[in-house]
Structure 1
Amino acid sequence: MKINKKRLLPLGVCLFAFAMVALMADKQWSEKQQQIDLITEFYKDHLSRPDQRQASQVPPGSFYSKELEALVDANNQLCYALSRGDDICGYGADGDVFLDAQEVSPSLDFERAGFRAERVGENMVEAVFNVYPDMGAAYERQIRYALVYEDDKGWRVDDMQFAQGRSMREELQQENDAVLARARDLADTAGWVFNYLGNEDMLDRAVRFIDFPVQVCDQYGICAAMKRDDPRLLQALDVLADRNADLTTLPKSGEIQAADGKVVGIGPLDFTFRNRAWWVTKVDLRRL
């Protein structure tokens, strides 16, 4: 039997095209499933943990995109270095970001939460669950995850979108900006410092605002550079605690403009702006 090569060629082309279409469809299905699996597996792990996990505690490179991880890291570093008062600092520090709640049912787990995830757009996965399953639909949460593909890691979360149009990226940037703004505000820094100095039980908190080594001058004009653990520093702070500061002399918010190296004296303390914040750089007991 003779084989008609003229007929085989179009047939081969058709079969090849069909195979390519099937391969592309399978690849697209696989990528869509990978997106859903990323979010589902994360929640299986998250809801099995006995302790709450902060946004900054997610293992590097495992969940966030490089850009989002950089924002989370910046937030963590800014809070550690510049948030020196008693304000809560850290994205989601007062709740659970991934559950969009401050409190959840003590018995909550993956199964009881009724978790489900589905794609709701191009590279977008919506997670739906209930943080108080016994309390009804009022406690249902919907969080959308915008995903991006990174060559070295695969699909990663580039943003989280919550109810009322809230966005993880936007909230992180807002908090980072707020931390920097407070650190640049001399009124905020001085307010915390003199508040702590007014209470002998809080002198250690005032130390958070001191840039070491700090210059300390006693009542007789003898000055020395002191480290954090120098007992003479605590003695000087005790003297300040015994003298109630005149808080009416504190600057108003925004009254003093920050500039690198700028020094402003308030009562017995000199504040210097450096490293993105105001720091106590001199304690002069002669100015009491």
Structure 2
Amino acid sequence: MKINTKRLLPFGAVLLVLAIAGLLADKAWSEKQQQLDLITDFYRDHLARPDSRLASQLPPGTFYSRELEALVDANSQLCYSLSRGDDVCGYGADADVFLQTQEASPTLDFDRSSFKVSRVGENIVEATFNVYPDMGTAYDRQIRYVLVEEDEGWRVDDMLFSDGRSMRQEIQQENDAILSRARDLGDTAGWVFNYLGNEEMLDRAVRFIAFPVQVCDQYGACAAMKRDDPRLLQALDALADSKPDIGNLPKPGDVQASDGKVVAVSALDFTFQNRAWWVNRIDLRRLPASPLAPRHE
């Protein structure tokens, strides 16, 4: 039987096109399923944990995109290095950002949460669930995840909340606020002298000291001291006993921050360095408190 090759060639081409189309369809379906699985698997694990996790506590490279992970890491570093007062610092430090609540049902688990996930846009996955199933729809939650494909697979590039907020925007705003407060001498001095006014909080004033710190006693003897030097606490005690006049503290915005700038407030010299104001000199000869006076060394 003679085979008509002229007819087979077009037929083969059709089969090839159909095969390619099928492979592309399978790939598209697989990618969509991977997106859904990323969010579903995350919540299955998250809701199985007895304690909530902070946004900064997820294993590196497993959930966030590289850009979002860098932003979360920057937030953690800023809180560690520059947020020195008693304010809560860290994105989601006072709530579970993945559940959008400060408190969830003690019996909440993946099944009871009525968790559902769906694709609602190009590379956008929506998760819905309830954090207090016994309390009705008031505790329904809806979070959208913007995904990006990286070498390791699909990763979360942003979280969009039902009230219009964005994880990226909130973290950036908090980072900017931390840097802004660290540049404000009035804020820094306020925390320091607040702690100096309470004997039980003297150790907290140490958060604002750059070590080694120069300390001069009432007789003019000066020494560079490390954090664990017992003489440092004695100097802070003397400051506290002097009852410095906090009425002379700089007000917010009074002093323009610039690298290396030194400002004396009472017996303390504050120097702006490493993006914040730090105490780098304690001079007990300046007691009682003196007005704000710029100094240059």
CA deviation after TM superposition for structure 1 residue 245, in Å: 1.3
2: CA distance, partners of 1:44 / 1:52: 13
CA deviation after TM superposition for structure 1 residue 176, in Å: 0.3
Matched, 1:137 2:137: yes
2: CA distance, partners of 1:23 / 1:136: 44
Report matched runs for 1:1-288 at 5 Å.
Answer: 1-151=1-151, 153-288=152-287
What secondary structure, in the 3-state scheme, does the structure 2 residue paired with 1:98 have?
Answer: coil
2: CA distance, partners of 1:229 / 1:67: 39
Q: What is the TM-score normalised by the length of structure 2?
A: 0.96
What secondary structure, in the 3-state scheme, does the structure 2 residue paired with 1:63 have?
Answer: coil
1: CA distance, partners of 2:204 / 2:56: 24
1: CA distance, partners of 2:31 / 2:179: 40
Aligned residues: 287
CA deviation after TM superposition for structure 1 residue 131, in Å: 0.4
CA deviation after TM superposition for structure 1 residue 244, in Å: 1.1
User: What is the root-mean-square deviation of aligned Cα atoms in Å?
Assistant: 0.5
1:66-89 deviation digits (Å, cap 9, x = unpaired)? 000000000000000000000000
User: Which one-letter code corresponds to 1:6 in the other structure?
Assistant: K
User: Which one-letter code corresponds to 1:284 in the other structure?
Assistant: D
What secondary structure, in the 3-state scheme, does the structure 2 residue paired with 1:165 have?
Answer: coil
1:78-118 deviation digits (Å, cap 9, x = unpaired)? 00000000000000000001001111111111000011111
Q: Quote the residue 2:293 is aligned against.
A: none
Q: Quote the residue 2:292 is aligned against.
A: none
Identity of aligned residues (%): 75
What secondary structure, in the 3-state scheme, does the structure 2 residue paired with 1:96 have?
Answer: coil
User: Which one-letter code corresponds to 1:22 in the other structure?
Assistant: G
1:217-249 deviation digits (Å, cap 9, x = unpaired)? 100111111011111111111111111111110
After TM superposition, what 4+ stretches of structure 1 lie above 6 angstroms from structure 2?
none
Q: What is the TM-score normalised by the length of structure 1?
A: 0.99
